[in-house]
Amino acid sequence: MENNTGMRQWLDDFKLSHPLVIAGPCSAETEEQVLDIARQLKDSDVSIYRAGIWKPRTRPGGFEGVGAIGLGWLQKAKAETGLLMAVEVANATHVKLALENDIDVLWIGARTTVNPFAVQEIADALVNTDKIVLVKNPVNPDLALWLGGVERLYNAGIKKLGVIHRGFSTYEKTKYRNIPEWQLAIELHDRFPDLPIICDPSHITGRRDMIQQVSQQALDLNYDGLMIETHNNPDKAWSDAAQQVTPERLKEIMANLKVRNKGAEDSAFNEQIEKLRLRIDEYDSRLIQVLGKRMRIADEIGALKKENNVSVLQGKRWKEVLERMKNEGLPENLGEEFILKLFRAIHQESIVHQEKIINSQHS
């Protein structure tokens, strides 16, 4: 997929002086609820109203959405407020119904993005549409799968494309519902800078008290917009109650967010930041050199283990290293999550080095 400035044109057409805001309930529950929230969001920074009509659930028995009847409620909300309407679609039938009910924005959810067959079915149903289509990142951190979803839609002649970063699932217990893995979204944006990128802090955090913090992080990384789940009575929501905010709280969050300049004309600033970046580059080079030396020691350990017929993985030793590094990271103001990721990656590379030595034919 080649860079295409047309992909960003739909966002520019809003002529906004602030980031794009998509807001509304996780699920459309009743007509009264849908209309009440839309009315409260009408005179705010919100440009697009979202509501889940079909809700994919991991296990049966949960609330799976009100279905097509909710599309009529969104039509009424659009007529009354002028807000554009957005829903999640997971198959060609959803697409057909959404288009018949004049839905403006369709997004493909994380569970659907992982399935190329489903994405292709949706792309075929949307051929040459002028609707805005957004692709959420897949459940697992797989950049190729995310890009593949976008490419299938682009190849179907859909030009008003964008992506939604909602974080990635993990078995590890963290402060996030879905860990951000910011570097993956940044890499996607570096490859296709004309592809608008929207952050979904509701699904990243799973907690309403963290939404402002993650929203600010996204804006600091030059994201184009935010998708924030908003409910008139969050604690009583039929789905994802903990991560939804009230319309009033949403307005407070937006008022407190700071949009950074992408650069500065001031020559003193540019000179100073360039000096600091040169220092960063120097330390990065040193890190590579130190890691290289560390891996050469790992090679020696691998040779010693081979000579003595000892297994590569030494669980007790690894746990001791991890605990020590977490403690040493504290006075350096390095977060525990960062330390864990860094040393797990280093440990994995050490294992690869040692396995090569142990499995080699020559001592």
Cβ atoms of 295 and 348 within 8 Å: the answer is no
Triad 53, 38, 242: Cα angle to 5°: 65
Cβ atoms of 76 and 52 within 8 Å: the answer is no
How far apart, in whole angstroms, are the C-alpha atoms of residue 363 and residue 304? 10
Q: For residue 188, what pLDDT is reported?
A: 93
Q: For residue 3, what pLDDT is reported?
A: 56
Nearest to 178 by CA among 237, 249, 240: 240
Q: For residue 361, what pLDDT is reported?
A: 66
How far apart, in whole angstroms, are the C-alpha atoms of residue 228 and residue 21? 8
**Half-sphere exposure (Cβ direction) of 223: Cα atoms closer than 13 Å:** 27
Dihedral pair phi/psi, residue 105, rounded to 5°: -130, 130
Q: For residue 172, what pLDDT is reported?
A: 75
Q: What separation, in Å, do the N-terminal and C-terminal C-alpha atoms of the chain show?
A: 48
Strand partners of residue 105: 86, 132
How far apart, in whole angstroms, are the C-alpha atoms of residue 73 and residue 49? 12
b/e 281-318 (16+ beta carbons within 10 angstroms → b): eeeeeeeeeeeeeeeeebeebbeebbeeeeebeeeeee
Residue 171: left if φ>0, alpha if ψ -120 to 50, beta else—which one? alpha
**pLDDT truncated to tens, each residue of the chain (363 aa)?**
655 666 888 998 888 888 999 999 999 999 999 999 999 999 999 999 999 999 877 667 678 889 999 999 999 999 999 999 999 999 999 999 999 999 999 999 999 999 999 999 999 999 988 999 999 999 999 999 999 999 999 999 998 999 999 999 987 778 899 999 998 999 998 889 899 999 999 999 999 999 999 999 999 999 999 999 999 999 999 999 999 999 999 999 999 999 887 777 778 888 888 888 878 988 898 899 999 999 999 999 989 988 899 888 888 888 999 899 999 999 999 988 899 889 999 999 999 999 998 888 654
Helix (H) or strand (E) holding 161: strand 161-165
Q: For residue 5, what pLDDT is reported?
A: 60
Q: For residue 315, what pLDDT is reported?
A: 85
How far apart, in whole angstroms, are the C-alpha atoms of residue 178 and residue 328? 27
Nearest to 67 by CA among 82, 88, 44, 49: 88
Report pTM: 0.81
How far apart, in whole angstroms, are the C-alpha atoms of residue 303 and residue 359? 10
Q: In order of start, what are the domains of the chain with their CATH numbers?
A: 6-256 (3.20.20.70), 267-359 (1.20.59.10)
Q: For residue 275, what pLDDT is reported?
A: 85
How distant, in Å, are the alpha carbons of 107, 152, 160, 229, 236 from that of 128?
16, 12, 10, 29, 40
Q: For residue 34, what pLDDT is reported?
A: 98
Q: For residue 37, what pLDDT is reported?
A: 98
**Half-sphere exposure (Cβ direction) of 211: Cα atoms closer than 13 Å:** 26
